């Protein structure tokens, strides 16, 4: 187990480095960063000054190493738009987005696990078909459209929830649903497929032969074995959710990292933009690593080798 | 134990072309309602989009400020002059929807082709040669998977300016991961089969083996992934355009239409409902067709 | 034959099966997998159901335990455990009986245990579900039974996972698990088939010892006549879904009345009797299709003694506790040619 963890950790670090390189180069896409930072109508002298101050005149690899060194130490540079250090700005919004991501994931699992189990247990019945139909429909709705629909129903018509902002827990309800529903069909199918396979297993027949109640057979014996790929997918999906929060946060003006990303992109605030991409990528790498480890732990054959 | 690569891989059933080619294909296709409905709907949308100039009653770009925000025919104040109403600039909505189909379909197909080429090449090479090639490809895929697509796309578009072709290029260069993963698995399965060995024994060069023996047999999996990725690309473009960083006005991208109608949605709900429904129906039909195709591929029928 | 391992049974019918039939739905019509099978098993007695693959013996055992797949339908004139009607029992009642009054062990010990839970957990849960009482009692009982099935350091084993045990050990655990609540009936479906030859003998010995110790009724499914010889009091020979011969092990082995039984016995090499280099018997032909109407004797196409009447109806003949389905009361003495037909 320890060997496995170390190997995975090594790989994760390599990936994180690769991602940092891409994030670094992303900024250079628009051409000369000095011009971009100087803004419109800047004089040549100003551009040169910026170039010298930020070290854009040095070779690229040197710039990368220096940038990486600063970033790792928590110095993300300064936000061009907000005119304040980027790091505290980014981290202050991170919590909101993490909360949203976790809630959305929980919501997705909350609806998909029972549906997936039901679809598998009553395979090929109307329940199964209904669940699959819901899955297909759910995946066809664009999330921004669904978010607008939710606003129409819950804010305008029913007046139960606030349209936008991020003060109270009510502000999180619709964003959670809008972000989470799209992940549900994938989980549902995975659980359904996993359960169908597991329910055919010999040890399920043994459990039935022991006279265990049906709920125990399904949830203790079957689901426990079917859930392993779901854990892996859950971590991966959380990463996607965090990245995909841009749209939802922007629609609901929820003050998180996604919304900050949108603002920074719109206002060409490159340091912030670059570091958000890097931060989310690193979080994703960490999540994948955690899921690999959880996966290994869940399988006693690896845990107790 | 699953790495992120395995998790991201679609479960592959054995089968492929041999299953498709089995007798009774027509009957099985007909019996599989999903494929019939999905492909049927899809065909309808494609026809409407491709022949939009024939079907659309008006030019989608012509503004008519005297006829702003006219409701569809089933509302009071609506009429068959503009069956689905007009947008806040007086442009006929039905025509815009038809032309919008072109944009979505173009995005879906182009991105699927571009990312398909990249990802399939990578996947097939990794699956066929294994070893170091496989390690490199796996590493690239893991790295790509770690990056939030929509953010990177947004940032790139912001840096390079928004337009249809920028969107297609960016998405095409980003969305190859699933192709790589699935094609890698499929190639691994096929690699050890007899006819591949036979071709190698006959002295066929590697590209010939890959293109001549491996590709035809992983083709069905490729098609399934392509449909999924096309649908995903369409949704991404819609989201990008919705945020203002995709296709630019006055192009009638459905996502852009929703964005333009956002502030009117409380009073003129159809302005967002119609393009939203159009997107949903298109994605639905693609997914249905893809699912049905996958069912057709697995020898036992139902996955 | 090898030494017998059993004692005289105490009369008391534990399992009563009369005219049990199982049909399996197929696209081509119902497959009649089990046809009017009847047998009884008494306390302390072992009944072996023997037959080739596909003869319906496993399905019979699943039918008794109410573990049939969804596509199968079960009918019987009588199916009762210790006098209680299993046909009319509610699912809840059936669950209460399974693992408790009647238990089953299966062929593949490698896959029959849940890889995610410890041996102890899986042993104890049966006891907890049926007997309540709490974890301590269940644990005590588990250790007791592990000892009974010959597993040393039982306490340690409880905390282990299935993948840490060998096939033979797993099968012992399965047996212990089946006995946790002291059932009166044990159904064993080819319990030794998947194991190494040396382990096979150990497991069978264990089962025989446990039976004489605990007095349970046992139904043992097998295709191996050697197993039958070791452990059976009574034998039922199954062919194409029917029991074609039934009786005490001695009488069936000593004087097989049904041509199929005779064919089976001639297939086994017997030390001292079979000549080195001589041919073993085979039974030519294949099992007939079980879909649709089946009239007359299902063995007639492969039978050396078949007569035209065999296609119409087959009487059941008896002699004491020995019964068989055949037109013949007594077969001609075994012809050397029969034993050597290719």
Residue A109: strand, helix, or coil: helix
Contact A144 B258 (CB under 8 A): yes
pLDDT in tens, A239-255: 888 888 899 999 988 88
Contact B7 A232 (CB under 8 A): yes
- Whether the predicted pLDDT of B302 surpasses 50: no
What is the average pLDDT across A206-232?
89
What is the average pLDDT across C83-100?
90
Contact A137 B146 (CB under 8 A): no
Mean pLDDT highest for which of A184-198, B22-36, B81-95?
A184-198
Query: What was the pLDDT predicted at C335?
Result: 55
- Whether the predicted pLDDT of A229 surpasses 90: no
Query: Residue A215, Cβ neighbours under 10 Å: how many?
Result: 8
Contact A284 B146 (CB under 8 A): yes
Tell me the C-alpha distance between A94 and C155, whole Å. 50
**Touching subunits for chain C (3+ Cβ pairs under 8 A):** A
What is the average pLDDT across C263-271?
75
Contact list in C for residue A299 (CB cut-off 8 A) is 115-116
Query: What was the pLDDT predicted at A1?
Result: 76
- Whether the predicted pLDDT of C9 surpasses 80: no
Query: What was the pLDDT predicted at C46?
Result: 93
Contact list in A for residue B148 (CB cut-off 8 A) is 239-240, 242-244, 277, 280-281, 284
Q: How confident is the model at residue A305 (pLDDT cuts 50, 70, 90)?
A: low
Contact yes or no for A81/A272 (Cβ under 8 A): yes
Cα C175 from chain centroid? 15
> Nearest 5°: phi and psi at C240?
50, 45
Q: Which of B126-130, B282-286, C169-173 has the lowest mean pLDDT?
A: B126-130
Among residues C110, C76, C46, C218, the alpha carbon closest in space to that of C68 is found at C76
* Tokens describing residue C2: 């090898």
Of C96, C99, C111, the CB nearest to A202: C111
Tell me the C-alpha distance between B119 and B137, whole Å. 10
Q: How confident is the model at residue B30 (pLDDT cuts 50, 70, 90)?
A: low
Task: Pick the more confident residue, B30 or B38.
Answer: B38
Place of tokens 């799209």: A182
What is the average pLDDT across A120-146?
88
Query: What was the pLDDT predicted at B211?
Result: 79
Cα radius of gyration (chain C)? 21
B157: nearest CA partner in chain A: A265
Query: What was the pLDDT predicted at C5?
Result: 43
Cα C136 to Cα A271, C97, C158: the distances in Å are 62, 23, 13
Tell me the C-alpha distance between C163 and A124, whole Å. 33
Among residues C38, C176, C41, C192, the alpha carbon closest in space to that of C109 is found at C192
What is the average pLDDT across B148-162?
84
Q: How confident is the model at residue C266 (pLDDT cuts 50, 70, 90)?
A: confident
Tell me the C-alpha distance between C155 and C148, whole Å. 13
Tell me the C-alpha distance between A166 and A223, whole Å. 37
Task: Pick the more confident residue, C5 or A240.
Answer: A240
Place of tokens 């061009």: A80
Contact list in A for residue B269 (CB cut-off 8 A) is 152
Task: Pick the more confident residue, A207 or A234.
Answer: A207
Q: Could you tell me how many residues make up chain B?
A: 303
Q: Which of A1, A207, A210 to mutate to test the interface with C (most CBs of C within 10 A)?
A: A210
Contact yes or no for A239/A287 (Cβ under 8 A): yes
Q: Which regions of B50-163 does DSSP assign to beta strands (E)? A: none
Q: Which of B34-38, B184-188, C235-239, C248-252 has the lowest mean pLDDT?
A: B34-38
Query: What was the pLDDT predicted at C82?
Result: 87
Contact A239 B158 (CB under 8 A): no
Cα C289 to Cα B116, B177, C33, C51, C171: the distances in Å are 50, 51, 10, 16, 34
Return the ∠ at Cα B53 (arms to B49 and B58), rounded to 5°.
110
Q: Is the dihedral of CA A63, A66, A69, A70 positive or negative?
A: negative
pLDDT in tens, C51-81: 888 888 999 999 999 999 888 999 999 999 9
Supply the mean pLDDT for chain A: 85
Contact list in B for residue A250 (CB cut-off 8 A) is 243
C322-325, strands of its sheet edge to edge? C102-105, C185-189, C217-222, C46-50, C234-239, C242-248, C322-325, C316-319
- Whether the predicted pLDDT of A205 surpasses 90: yes
Query: Residue B104, Cβ neighbours under 10 Å: how many?
Result: 27
ipTM: 0.83
Nearest CA to CA, how far is A220 from chain C (Å)?
Answer: 10
Contact A285 B146 (CB under 8 A): yes
Residue C248: strand, helix, or coil: strand
Task: Pick the more confident residue, A4 or A34.
Answer: A4
pLDDT in tens, B67-102: 788 888 888 777 788 888 888 888 888 888 999 999
Query: What was the pLDDT predicted at B23?
Result: 62
Q: How confident is the model at residue C29 (pLDDT cuts 50, 70, 90)?
A: confident
Query: What was the pLDDT predicted at C79?
Result: 92
Contact yes or no for B220/B15 (Cβ under 8 A): yes
What is the average pLDDT across A254-260?
88
pTM as predicted? 0.79
Query: What was the pLDDT predicted at A118?
Result: 92
Tell me the C-alpha distance between B19 and B220, whole Å. 10
Contact B2 A295 (CB under 8 A): yes
Q: How confident is the model at residue B301 (pLDDT cuts 50, 70, 90)?
A: very low
Of C67, C111, C174, the CB nearest to A201: C111
Query: What was the pLDDT predicted at C312?
Result: 81
């Amino acid at each position: 187990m320890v060997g496995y963890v170390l190997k995975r950790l090594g790989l994760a670090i390599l990936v994180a480095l690769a991602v940092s390189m891409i994030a670094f180069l992303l900024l250079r896409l628009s051409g000369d960063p000095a011009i971009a930072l100087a803004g419109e109508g800047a004089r040549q002298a100003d551009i040169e000054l910026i170039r010298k101050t930020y070290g854009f005149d040095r070779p690229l690899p040197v710039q990368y190493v220096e940038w990486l060194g600063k970033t790792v130490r928590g110095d993300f540079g300064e936000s061009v738009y907000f005119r304040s250090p980027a790091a505290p700005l980014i981290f202050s919004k991170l919590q909101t987005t993490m909360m949203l991501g976790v809630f959305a994931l929980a919501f997705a699992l909350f609806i998909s696990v029972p549906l997936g189990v039901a679809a598998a247990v009553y395979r090929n019945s109307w329940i199964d078909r209904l669940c699959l139909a819901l899955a297909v429909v759910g995946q066809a709705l664009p999330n921004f459209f669904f978010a607008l629909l939710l606003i129409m129903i819950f804010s305008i018509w029913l007046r139960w929830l606030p349209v936008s902002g991020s003060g109270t827990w009510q502000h999180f309800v619709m964003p959670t649903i809008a972000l989470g529903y799209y992940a549900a069909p994938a989980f549902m199918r995975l659980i359904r497929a996993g359960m169908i396979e597991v329910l055919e297993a010999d040890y399920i027949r043994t459990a039935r032969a022991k006279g265990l109640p049906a709920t125990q057979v399904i949830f203790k014996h079957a689901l426990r074995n079917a859930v392993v790929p779901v854990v892996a997918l859950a971590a991966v999906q959380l990463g996607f959710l965090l990245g995909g929060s841009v749209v939802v946060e922007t629609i609901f003006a929820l003050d998180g990292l996604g919304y900050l990303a949108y603002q920074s992109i719109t206002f060409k605030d490159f340091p912030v933009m670059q570091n958000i991409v890097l931060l989310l990528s690193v979080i994703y790498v960490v999540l994948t690593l955690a899921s690999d480890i959880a996966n290994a732990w869940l399988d006693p054959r690896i845990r107790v080798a | 134990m699953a790495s992120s690569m395995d998790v991201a891989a679609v479960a592959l059933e054995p089968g492929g072309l041999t299953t498709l080619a089995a007798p009774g294909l027509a009957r099985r296709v007909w019996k599989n309602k999903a494929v019939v409905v999905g492909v049927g709907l899809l065909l309808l949308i494609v026809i409407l989009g491709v022949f939009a100039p024939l079907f659309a009653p008006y030019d989608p770009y012509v503004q008519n400020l005297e006829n702003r925000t006219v409701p569809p025919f089933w509302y009071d104040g609506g009429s068959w002059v503009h069956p689905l109403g007009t947008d806040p600039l007086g442009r006929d909505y039905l025509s815009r929807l038809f032309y919008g189909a072109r944009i979505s379909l173009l995005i879906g197909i182009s991105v699927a082709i571009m990312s398909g080429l990249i990802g399939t090449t990578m996947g097939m090479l990794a699956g066929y040669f294994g070893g170091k090639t496989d390690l490199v490809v796996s590493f690239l895929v893991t790295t790509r998977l770690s990056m939030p697509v929509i953010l990177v796309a947004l940032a790139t578009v912001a840096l390079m300016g928004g337009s249809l072709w920028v969107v297609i290029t960016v998405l095409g260069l980003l969305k190859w991961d699933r192709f790589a993963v699935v094609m890698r698995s499929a190639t691994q399965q096929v690699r050890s089969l007899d006819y591949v060995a036979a071709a190698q024994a006959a002295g066929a060069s590697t590209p010939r083996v890959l293109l001549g023996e491996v590709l035809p047999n992983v083709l069905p999996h490729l098609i399934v992934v392509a449909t999924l990725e096309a649908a995903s690309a369409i949704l991404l473009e819609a989201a990008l355009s919705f945020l203002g960083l995709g296709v630019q006005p006055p192009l009638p991208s459905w996502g852009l239409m929703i964005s333009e109608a956002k502030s009117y949605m409380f009073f003129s709900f159809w302005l967002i409902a119609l393009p939203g429904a159009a997107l949903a129906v298109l994605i639905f039909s693609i997914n249905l067709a893809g699912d049905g195709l996958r069912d057709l591929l697995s020898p036992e029928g139902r996955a | 034959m090898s030494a017998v391992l059993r004692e005289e049974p105490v009369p008391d019918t534990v399992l009563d099966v009369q005219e049990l039939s199982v049909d399996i739905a197929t696209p081509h019509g119902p497959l009649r997998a089990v046809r009017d099978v009847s047998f009884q098993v008494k306390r302390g007695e072992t009944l072996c159901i023997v037959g080739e693959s596909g003869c319906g013996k496993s399905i019979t055992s699943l039918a008794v335990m109410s573990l049939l797949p969804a596509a199968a339908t079960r009918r019987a004139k009588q199916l009762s455990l210790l006098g209680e009607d299993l046909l009319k029992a509610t699912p809840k009642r059936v669950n209460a009986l399974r693992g408790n009054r009647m238990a089953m062990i299966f062929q593949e010990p490698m896959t029959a245990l849940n890889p995610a839970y410890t041996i102890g957990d899986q042993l104890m849960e049966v006891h907890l579900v049926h007997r309540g009482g709490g974890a301590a009692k269940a644990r005590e009982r588990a250790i007791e039974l592990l000892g009974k099935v010959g597993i040393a350091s039982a306490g340690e084993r409880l905390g282990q996972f299935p993948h840490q045990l060998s096939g033979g050990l797993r099968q012992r655990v399965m047996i212990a698990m089946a006995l946790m609540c002291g059932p009166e009936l044990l159904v064993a479906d080819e319990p030794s088939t998947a194991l190494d030859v040396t382990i096979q003998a150990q497991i069978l010995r264990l089962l025989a010892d446990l039976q004489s110790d605990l007095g349970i009724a046992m139904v043992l499914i097998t295709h191996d006549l050697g197993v039958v010889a070791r452990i059976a009091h009574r034998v039922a020979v199954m062919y194409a879904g029917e029991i074609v011969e039934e009786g005490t092990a001695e009488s069936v082995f000593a004087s097989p009345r049904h041509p199929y039984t005779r064919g089976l016995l001639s297939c086994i090499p017997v030390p001292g009797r079979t000549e080195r280099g001589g041919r073993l018997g085979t039974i030519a032909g294949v099992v007939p299709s079980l879909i649709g109407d089946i009239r007359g004797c299902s063995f007639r196409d492969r039978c050396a003694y078949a007569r035209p009447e065999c296609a119409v109806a087959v009487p059941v003949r008896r002699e004491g506790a020995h019964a068989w389905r055949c037109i013949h009361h007594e077969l001609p003495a075994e012809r050397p040619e029969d034993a050597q037909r290719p």
